[in-house]
Chain A
Amino acid sequence: MLSTKNRSVSLLAVSLGLALFAGACGDDGGSTAAATGSTAKTGTTKPAASSGATAAPTTTVAPKVEVTGTLNASGATFPKGFYEVAIAEFKKAQPKATLTYAGGGSGKGRTDLQSQVVDWAGSDGLVKDADKPNYKGGEFLYFPTVVAPITVSYNLDGVDKLNLSAETVAKIFQREIKTWDDAAIVAENPDAKAKLTGNITVAHRSDGSGTTEHFTIYLNKSVGAGGTGVWKLKSGSTVEWPADTQAGNGNAGVAQIVKDTKGAIGYVDFSDAKATGLKFASLKNKAGKFVAPSLDGASAAAEGATVNPDLSYDPLWAEGDKAYPIAAPTWILAYVKQTDKAKGETLKTFLRFMLTDGQKLAPSIDYAPLPKGLDEKAIAQLDKLQIPV
């Protein structure tokens, strides 16, 4: 109930925002419109132009630029829910644009972008320097879009609040701690001592996944090779899980195992964990505080992260009292040199939408918006896109 209400409120905000957006981007839009001729003409027949006519013949209120390109994309499944909602909203404002997002995984998105099968790609991870020469379209840009917490969800009767440190999480997922009454868990949850009973079933992803990658990066950074060395499986979109663990396909698959199995624990992204009705643990962050997963916690983590010049940043195991330790970033990858005018303009308009009004949509479907500052940097980066005239 609450979420539908939230959603309609945010939709309202978006439609209001769009009206503002049409005016705000007038400067940029006006110049492209003037240059493009035909698109400008379709723009002038729009109601926006009539308001311009009543105000003054000057360009204080520029007509909204209508974009007509078709953009195909594939990649990360983690932000797919958000991208689909954002694309649907974008189409309401730009009915002549066609956008698709096929998902398929970050690796698929990057491979598709390399061979220019898609116009942009979603990716949870960064491109290794060694792979950069494989990108046929030359230099590309990272546009951060949203951040979202990954929960450590569990199924234990009578335990509504569970505190776990990174070290305990690492030991549980490596099967070094096999029962809930282990001293390490009890020490972190003295109040729930009586209810902490039974064997632990560990659930992880069977498919390669950015969620696994972020979860293992968190463990590797906090208690892995760089830290205490407790976590030995390193990081990656698939790691060598112990044989006596359970695997589920997708976030929904892991959530299903946790839901069905008493004593199970698994890592599940925030929106799926909420949708499945799972209970999730509060995790000890770098500052030593136990923090429950929340959108604010994820945004706080992103705020605490250092942003590189290429807009890559790492919000995992970030500084800050409020930072949730497993906040997962995700990016849109696009080539600097756009070869098609209509596509290039559509891409620029769409990315601008994602970074402005799209951000307001995010919380309604359990993704956290970018922290202030990062979104501005990403918007500034839009000017680097080279669109043929």
Chain B
Amino acid sequence: MNTNPDFRTPEFSARGRRADSLFRYATIAAGAIVLLVLGAVAFTTTKRAWPALDSMGLDFFTSDRWAPNEKFFGARSFIYGSLVASTIAVVLAIPVSIGIALFTTQVVPARWRRPIVYLVDLLAVVPSVVFGLWGILVFAKHVDGFYGFLHDVLGPIPVVGDLFGEGSGRGYMTAGIILAIMITPIITSLAREVIDTCPPADREGAYALGATRWEMIRGTVLPYSKGGLVGAVMLGLGRAMGETIAVALVIGSTANISANLFASGDALPARIANEWGEAEGTWRAALIGLAVTLFAVTILVNLAATAVVNRSLAKSQGTR
């Protein structure tokens, strides 16, 4: 041990400089690895999917006919199913998650906070296959009647009624609800962290100006944490789009495009999981093609969301 640490000794700062540059390279390497892995994944999957992509051409993305026994592969109905189910999931999960996050950070007394947070986080560790089995064996069986009720009530309304047609317990809506339950804890815990970063000074300032609790939340907490909240939702959306087994069990597994939210459909990852075991040759290539498509769709959705957020952030920060 050095009894007289002198921070200005030449050795020390030389070592410091070396550590500094080492740190810089290490972080650059870490960042590069992410890009490298992404690039490698994109390259290999595209290469292995090429036999199918090559023989199908653009039809691979635009056709909704999927007939492995005739070597015809069109992914459109699965892209549609993935988007519809994850949209339902996000629409249902956003108000609930942000509600829980606001509740635990702003409303609930401090001593109740931990158990509630703990319970919500517990939901995140339930394996997806458990959700899937519960979905198919319990939920799908009993939700049938409720869908029928919604169809009877909302069905006759023009345009909106098309969304609530007849159906069974296996379809987009059931998949969306199961996914919503699965992504709620993720969005909640991230949203909680984000909301917690709102400076107390801002909040107390709002109170000082005579704001009610809701006005304070709307005026300071939400604008302050908007970017982070969208990030939280994006992570949830990513999870919903990639979720495989739970969706495979409840979405109904038919290559179908329908505005009816209660109809059966299929999602990209679910189709891969269902058919992988029996697939060979071009069929296998086509399933890898579905993975490439999922990759691309996820990136596109994320880019679009980031663009929207940046624009709205610029706007709201301009007024602040």
- Beta-carbon contact of B278 and A106 below 8 Å: yes
- Beta-carbon contact of A207 and B275 below 8 Å: yes
Q: When chains A and B are docked, how far (Å) is the Cα of A237 from the Cα of B277? A: 10
Q: How far is the CB of B279 from chain A (nearest CB, A)?
A: 5
- Beta-carbon contact of A208 and B68 below 8 Å: yes
Q: Is B12 an interface residue (CB 8 A)?
A: no
Q: Is B2 an interface residue (CB 8 A)?
A: no
B249 / chain A contacts, CB cutoff of 8 Å: 249, 253
- Beta-carbon contact of B277 and A207 below 8 Å: yes
Q: Is A206 an interface residue (CB 8 A)?
A: yes
Given contacts A207-B274, A207-B278, A260-B141, contact A246 B252 (CB under 8 A): yes
Q: When chains A and B are docked, how far (Å) is the Cα of A318 from the Cα of B58? A: 43
Q: Which residue of A lies closest to B271 (CB)?
A: A206
Given contacts A107-B280, A240-B65, contact A246 B274 (CB under 8 A): no
Q: Which of A104, A243, A260 contacts B277 (CB 8 A)?
A: A104
- Beta-carbon contact of B277 and A105 below 8 Å: yes
Q: Which residue of B lies closest to A130 (CB)?
A: B281
- Beta-carbon contact of A131 and B252 below 8 Å: no
What secondary structure prevails in chain A residues at the interface with B? loop
- Beta-carbon contact of B280 and A243 below 8 Å: no
Q: Which size bracket describes the interface of B in this complex?
A: 20 to 34
Q: Is B6 an interface residue (CB 8 A)?
A: no
- Beta-carbon contact of A209 and B255 below 8 Å: no
B263 / chain A contacts, CB cutoff of 8 Å: 243
Q: Which of B256, B279, B284 contacts A243 (CB 8 A)?
A: B256
Q: Is B4 an interface residue (CB 8 A)?
A: no
- Beta-carbon contact of B168 and A246 below 8 Å: yes
- Beta-carbon contact of B264 and A246 below 8 Å: yes
B256 / chain A contacts, CB cutoff of 8 Å: 243
B70 / chain A contacts, CB cutoff of 8 Å: 234
- Beta-carbon contact of A111 and B255 below 8 Å: no
Q: Is B276 an interface residue (CB 8 A)?
A: yes
- Beta-carbon contact of A240 and B276 below 8 Å: no
- Beta-carbon contact of A239 and B253 below 8 Å: no
Q: Is A153 an interface residue (CB 8 A)?
A: no
- Beta-carbon contact of A240 and B67 below 8 Å: yes
- Beta-carbon contact of A206 and B274 below 8 Å: yes
Q: Which of B170, B258, B273, B276 contacts A108 (CB 8 A)?
A: B276
Q: Which residue of A lies closest to B68 (CB)?
A: A238
A358 / chain B contacts, CB cutoff of 8 Å: none
Q: Which residue of B lies closest to A107 (CB)?
A: B278
- Beta-carbon contact of B278 and A240 below 8 Å: no
- Beta-carbon contact of B254 and A208 below 8 Å: no
Q: Which residue of A lies closest to B137 (CB)?
A: A256
Q: When chains A and B are docked, how far (Å) is the Cα of A256 from the Cα of B140? A: 12
Q: Which 6 A-B pairs have the closest CB atoms?
A: A105-B277, A236-B69, A208-B278, A206-B253, A247-B253, A107-B278
A interface residues with partner B (beta carbon < 8 Å): 77, 104-108, 110-111, 131, 206-210, 213, 234-241, 243, 245-247, 249, 253, 256, 260
**23 examples of A-B residue contacts, CB within 8 angstroms:** A77-B277, A105-B277, A106-B278, A107-B278, A107-B279, A107-B284, A108-B277, A206-B274, A208-B277, A208-B279, A209-B278, A213-B278, A237-B68, A237-B278, A238-B68, A238-B275, A239-B67, A239-B69, A240-B66, A240-B255, A243-B263, A246-B170, A247-B264
